[in-house]
Amino acid sequence: MTERLDKILSRQLNITRARAKEVLRSGRVAVNDVTQQDGSTKCGDADAISVDGKLITVARYVYIMMNKPAGVISASDGKGEKTVVDLVPDNMQRRGLFPAGRLDRDTTGFVLITDDGEFAHNILSPVHHIPKTYIATLDKPVDDGMIADFEGGMTLNGRVLLEAGLEPVSHDGTVARVVLRQGLYHQVKRMFAKHGATVLQLHRTAMGGLELDDGLLPGECRYITADEIGQITKKFDSI
């Protein structure tokens, strides 16, 4: 696929199309080592585009994995409050970034930030059955009744939920792995609350088959590779 050079510059440098034209006119842009001033020039993946001698990426969309810290909101516009998009460093910023799905302010862990609306829709839609894995720390141990209710498809406020996974991972049963294939408001907290348990901490560890990179400190992020995108979306028939 090819695109106009001014459009690519505007997106990759997070500048307006008019500003991109100015940058082009000033002779700072080269395509395959030849100075290019015409914004209508068509460029594709195979072209090396540089500004002031520095190569820029041409990828149409980006996919970023962030280890969300507590205290920031999962939105692109926090109306004055700090968002996960604000935490993306300047050299990875671009227009149209948003988090694919919401974690509560106090929930930590894997947030996927992208500018690809169709991809975000696909991984969030319950019809695609892409599991999201959480580690929940509770004020009381998981019991067999909870496990049966999670796994059987519990009824919450009159709504029958999709089957979910629940498995204690600590000796005393107060830390548990939860696997959901849908993302209702405060879903994990509400599922435990139905059983009289309070979630003290919630951390998302995986989306589909892709685990949160344990090298990312809270607030840090990195690009997700094309191969890893495949790990998120590979088919899950059971959980």
Q: Does residue 104 carry a catalytic annotation?
A: yes
Calculate the alpha carbon distances from 85 to 219, 232, 237 in Å.
10, 21, 32
**Does residue 62 touch ligand URA according to CB under 6 A?**
no
Q: What are residue 42's DSSP bridge partners? A: 4
CA distance linking residue 18 with residue 7, whole number of Å = 10
Nearest approach, Cβ of residue 93 and ligand URA (Å): 24
**Does residue 202 touch ligand URA according to CB under 6 A?**
yes
Using the minimum distance from each CB to ligand URA, give the nearer residue, 43 or 103.
Answer: 103
Rounded to a whole number of angstroms, the distance between the first and last alpha carbons of the chain is 37
Using the rule CB under 6 A, which residue among 86, 104, 213, 220 binds ligand URA?
104
Nearest approach, Cβ of residue 172 and ligand URA (Å): 22
Nearest approach, Cβ of residue 27 and ligand URA (Å): 49
Point out the catalytic residue in the list 52, 77, 90, 104.
104
Largest CA distance in the chain: 69
CA distance linking residue 48 with residue 67, whole number of Å = 32
Calculate the alpha carbon distances from 117 to 98, 120, 213 in Å.
9, 5, 23
How many residues of this chain bind ligand URA (CB under 6 A)?
8
Catalytic residues: 104
Residues near ligand URA (CB under 6 A) are 103-104, 107, 186-189, 202
